Structure 1
Amino acid sequence: MATETYVTPVAFEGYVITATVTSSGKAVEDWIQEIYSSYHRLLHKLIVGLDVEWRPSYSRVQNRVALLQLCVGRHCLIFQLLHADYIPEALEEFLDDPDFRFVDVGVQDDADRLSQDHDVDVANTEDLRQLAADGFHMPALRQSVMGANLQKPHRVRMGPWDASCLSQEQIEYACIDAFVSFEIGRKLLTGDYP
């Protein structure tokens, strides 16, 4: 099975995020090594945006998780699990590190799906809804914390996430979703908000 990796910039709300899109286990190992190197001083309290995507199913049988998105700072990984040559042990260790906090809305559901579909466990999840409720008591989570204008077109959200070649819209959606989760989690967990 041929694996592909490409790196593309994704612009969002004045930020430029570097998205690594891959089905290569080796590229995932390289991305993780880059995170360890770039954030070595924060490894005892690293915050990671986490999300997963799968092709929607219109029957009782759920499709397997197709994508894993991880974001730390301006570095986003979009790992095409269904097309991967292998799932690296380095990824399993990264996700299972109890010092790291993996954040998203409904992140435990995503972690459960990842475990069920790919036998990969996430050690420490923090649901952004709960964090926001504890700190803010605000229902409009994304806008209240970040002021983000996050558009989630239905045709992309409900699209073919299991495709071997993702569209630019899918890449942007997947990257921005993980980045916004990271940024909101960072602000809520560090108290860096207005």
Structure 2
Amino acid sequence: MTKPQRAIATSITHEEVNSLPLNSFSGKVVLIKEPEKLATVFEEVQQHAVAGFDTETRPSFKRGQLYQVSLLQIAIPDKVYLIRLNKTGITDEIVRFLQVPTMIKSGVGVHDDIRALQKLKRFAPDGFVDLAVLAKKAGLQVESVKKLAALLLGFRISKSSQTSNWDADVLTQKQIEYAATDAWVCLELYRKLSTMVLS
């Protein structure tokens, strides 16, 4: 006789999230500032079927003042690339990555990321999966990266660097850790959610 499967919770409270241990990406983080290094980056990235995907933009605290995307984060198993778009621009290699249909790029709110990136350069996005949409298909009632990580991965991630200056000449260690963790979590969440949706 098979044991009944334990039902997975479909939502989580702020209190429950805050009671969980804090976690962050512990693999290799590679910061890219030079466009000539991107060919090698994407040679490695394209060897994988799925990548965690996110962007960061310097926040604006004045009405009517908007900044362009500063950072593109790409997570593959055990490694996260942080590409400083404010220094590299969007190169042909990046455009190919954003347009390739055979590689899944998983993130939360990817339509906003795509719109922001298209302000830098026009491209035809393909291969993107929004984890919030996947979460709904899996019957979950949470959409944010923080709550999805808590619910499905069992840990809390820090969001304290979200509104920091991503255009700074040098990113702080906290910014680097935050950015890498967000992309890594998007990769891990895709693995978990795709299994739930397909099962």
What is the TM-score normalised by the length of structure 1? 0.80
Q: Which residue of structure 2 aligns with residue 165 of structure 1?
A: 170
Instruction: Give the whole-Å Cα distance in 2 for the aligned partners of 1:138 and 1:72.
Output: 27
Instruction: Give the whole-Å Cα distance in 2 for the aligned partners of 1:117 and 1:15.
Output: 28
SS of 2:46's equivalent in the other structure is helix
Distance apart, 1:24 and its partner CA = 1.2
What is the TM-score normalised by the length of structure 2? 0.78
Distance apart, 1:15 and its partner CA = 5.7
Preserved contact between residue 111 and residue 121 of structure 1 (Cα < 8 Å): no
Distance apart, 1:14 and its partner CA = 8.2
Distance apart, 1:117 and its partner CA = 2.7
SS of 1:69's equivalent in the other structure is strand
Q: Which residue of structure 2 aligns with residue 182 of structure 1?
A: 187
Cα distance per residue 1:125-183 (max 9 Å; x no partner): 21111111111324242212111221111xx2111101121110000000000000111
Instruction: Give the whole-Å Cα distance in 2 for the aligned partners of 1:189 and 1:128.
Output: 9
5+ long unaligned stretches in structure 2: 1-21
SS of 2:26's equivalent in the other structure is strand
Q: Which residue of structure 2 aligns with residue 30 of structure 1?
A: 40
Instruction: Give the whole-Å Cα distance in 1 for the aligned partners of 2:116 and 2:134.
Output: 22
Matches within 5 A, 1:114-129: 114-129=117-132
Instruction: Give the whole-Å Cα distance in 1 for the aligned partners of 2:66 and 2:103.
Output: 29
Residues 1:110 and 2:117 aligned together: no
The one-letter code matched in structure 2 to 1:183 is E
Preserved contact between residue 51 and residue 104 of structure 2 (Cα < 8 Å): yes
Aligned length: 173
- Quick one: structure 1 residues 150 and 13, their matched pair in 2 at CA, closer, same or farther if it must change by over 3 Å? closer
**Identity over aligned pairs, percent:** 27
Instruction: Give the whole-Å Cα distance in 2 for the aligned partners of 1:173 and 1:143.
Output: 16
RMSD: 2.4
Structure with the largest fraction of strand:
1
Instruction: Give the whole-Å Cα distance in 2 for the aligned partners of 1:121 and 1:18.
Output: 30
Larger Rg: 2
